Amino acid sequence: MKAVIIGIGLIGGSLARDIRRSDPEATVLGMDISDAHLEAARELGLIGGKASDADLAAADLVVVSIPVDRIVEELPSILDRVGDETLVIDAGSTKAPICREVASHPKRRNFLACHPIAGTEFTGPAAAVEGLFDGKVNIICEVEETAFAIQERALDLFRELGMRIRYMNPEAHDRHIAYVSHLSHISSFMLGKTVIEKEKNERDIFDMAGSGFESTVRLAKSSPAMWTPIFEQNKKNVLETLDEYIANLKEFRALLDSDQYEALYEAMEQTNRIREILKGIPLNKS
């Protein structure tokens, strides 16, 4: 296999690592806006070197793992340059804008819209993790738009990496992911912001921070360069989830303010069922 990874960060780097593990004979090359990332990825053994346009044309697989606004901008040009039988997949956390952008592209048949639900809060080539996708869900959108033989190659790769496949339309994906991923990141960012602002006046606040605080703000370490475009592209769905979240916060505050502790207890007890809902779902999602 000859693979080109565009964007050698956590996801792209982890895919490169796993491809080389599953196929030691594979040629894996990289493209990245940062020459430092490319060099680091080469030194870490993620890629064999920098890819050229000729490598894109000759590639069996092209992975596009860059911020979602750049996927929308760059994907048409990438499809222009790949070979007729090249499989192109992305890893964007939004799907509708990306799918719309290439809907009428002559090589739409070469593209499989994907979102592997896997990741950590870390970025860059050094964040790449072997086995990151094992047991994780990979959401595929508009599979019917991809040539059958090409999508079969993709599914073989995903099975090799241990992924579980889920099919959704792009609009449903973006609506659901706003709740389980995008809102989680906003909550983490804003909790971190609140505590940092308070810490200006109370220097010892972090001395009292336990594992609960650390796990809740873990996602606040994520890259704003990646998440700002996600919130922009999924604005409508994110605003709806925020309205619901804020309404629940206001209700919680009202119950506490009016000393309705039994109602507060019941609200939290009902939420405890999240333990059953999440049972068996792998950790370290994003």
**Integer CA distances (angstroms), 11 to 8, 14, 39, 103, 129, in order:** 7, 5, 17, 25, 9
**Mean of pLDDT values over 15-19:** 95
Report the CATH number at residue 71.
3.40.50.720
Q: Would you state the pLDDT for residue 150?
A: 97
Q: Are residues 101 and 197 in the same domain?
A: no
Q: In this predicted model, what pLDDT tens digit does every residue of 64-118 receive, in sequence order?
A: 999 999 999 999 999 999 999 999 999 999 999 999 999 999 999 999 999 999 9
Give the number of other Cβ atoms within 10 Å of residue 139's Cβ: 21
Q: Would you state the pLDDT for residue 205?
A: 67
Q: Are residues 183 and 140 in the same domain?
A: no
Domain that holds residue 186: 173-278
Domain boundary among 109, 136, 168: 168
Residue 139 lies in a domain: yes
What is the domain count for the chain? Answer: 2
20-24, 74-78, 144-148: which has the minimum mean pLDDT?
20-24
Compute the distance between CA of residue 284 and CA of residue 137 in angstroms, rounded to an integer.
12
Q: Are 14 and 4 in contact (CB under 8 A)?
A: no
Give the confidence band of 217 by pLDDT, cuts at 50, 70, 90. Answer: confident
Compute the distance between CA of residue 263 and CA of residue 85 in angstroms, rounded to an integer.
60
Q: Are residues 51 and 189 in the same domain?
A: no
Residue 283 lies in a domain: no
Q: Are residues 69 and 200 in the same domain?
A: no
**Mean of pLDDT values over 236-254:** 97
Q: Residue 249, exposed/middle/buried by CB under 10 A (0-12, 13-18, 19+)?
A: exposed
The yes-or-no verdict on residue 206 having pLDDT over 80 is no
Domain boundary among 116, 137, 168: 168
Compute the distance between CA of residue 182 and CA of residue 38 in angstroms, rounded to an integer.
28
Residue 286 lies in a domain: no
Q: Are residues 93 and 221 in the same domain?
A: no
Compute the distance between CA of residue 209 and CA of residue 203 in angstroms, rounded to an integer.
12
Residue 284 lies in a domain: no
Q: Are residues 183 and 52 in the same domain?
A: no
